[in-house]
Amino acid sequence: MTVDIRGVNTVNKGAQLMLEAAVERLAPDFPLTAGPIQTAYRVRASLGLEQSLSITGRPLASARLGNLIPSKVRRWYGLVADKDLSGVVDASGFAYSDTFGAARALREASVARRWKRRGVGYVMLPQAFGPFKEKATADATRRLLEQADLVFVRDRVSAEYLDGLRVDVRAQLMPDFTIGLDVPKISPVATESSFIAIVPNKKMYTTGAVEKERYVEDLVRYGSVARSNHGLEPIVITHEVGDADLGEELAYRLGTRVVTDSSPRVLKAMIGQAHAVVASRFHAVVGGLSQGVPTLAYGWSHKYKELLRDFDAETWITSPKDDARDRVDTLLADDATLTAVKAARSSLTGQVDDMWAQTKRALTR
């Protein structure tokens, strides 16, 4: 009974965090696989994952070719053919939307139809969806959803987008499933003073949410206000390799340093040490809130505001229109919201436990 974890990768550290969360919960019950293109061998090996023979860009062709490899050869090299799968979980996070187009949903739907005919359990783990204004994206996503045994949706806005597709599937609201993921003990990020973590995301300007220069100026302003008004040293934490240049630019303009790590759990631990966080990476926001750190979300899609709602912290959203001084001062004085955030964690982790219980039942039906 082998389960394939799809939609994850080890370049995006939020995606890797979701991979690690899925392995932690599913590995005691199932042998697990992940694809070779998206996930580094070093990470797969450390997590005890075998390698599926599915290539994301050519799922049907790779499934057919992989099925032809003799079983003895597959065992020798730790390979898993599509025909050996008994279950599949999609841990994409945010992939089915006009933002990303129809291609991925079409590819996944093509293999999901085969799984359904074979009785392979298929679960879409909590993720954001939509919008679906483009007919091609809407049609492709509808086809994919029709193959699923369970669909978990991460927020109310995404649920409304799915309702608009009028597909015969009940999507259940569930929070992000990395909330309860533990972190390792690490050395102090800052030894001489408390710090505010600045976590940038180039998608803020590549998606058109804000112009790059305005975005950089905003983050510099947040860091400068935290330093001058509250004695917090701004430290830039880069959550992704693709944000490295942006992080260096911010650090130069703030007169500070950049810290990072290849492990998403270490990154989460770094964020947990901060006195406050301003973040544009979704799982950096999750990392701050789930560890009870005052966190301003400066995001590019609806998923950020909805995440804050899960933690009863809707006011901790910020945008280019906001005054940095006011937002930082208010965040650090907002003891009532911080208390609510800490209280919300227990309820949210309980919901995640229920989600995993349902998932395991669907995969063993």
Interval 184-226: pLDDT, tens: 999 999 978 899 999 999 999 999 999 999 999 999 999 999 9
The rounded percent of the chain whose pLDDT value lies above 70 is 100
Q: What is the full DSSP assignment across 193-227?
A: S-EEEEE--THHHHTTSS-HHHHHHHHHHHHHHHH
Task: Dump pLDDT digits (tens) for 280-301.
Answer: 999 999 999 999 999 999 999 9
Q: Is 261 helix (H, G, I), strand (E, B) or coil?
A: coil
Give the number of residues written for the chain.
365
Q: Are 277 and 311 contacting, i.e. CB atoms less than 8 angstroms apart?
A: no
Mean pLDDT of 24-33: 96
Domains of the chain: 2-178+348-363 (3.40.50.2000), 195-344 (3.40.50.2000)
CB atoms within 10 A of CB 296: 26
Structure tokens at 61: 């062709």
Task: Dump pLDDT digits (tens) for 52-93.
Answer: 887 777 777 777 777 888 888 888 888 888 899 999 999 999
Q: Which residues pair with 236 in a beta bridge?
A: 198, 258
**The pTM is what?**
0.92
Q: Are 2 and 78 contacting, i.e. CB atoms less than 8 angstroms apart?
A: no
- Residue whose pair of structure tokens reads 């937002």 in the numeric block: 327
- Helices 282-290 and 335-363, packing angle to 10 deg: 110
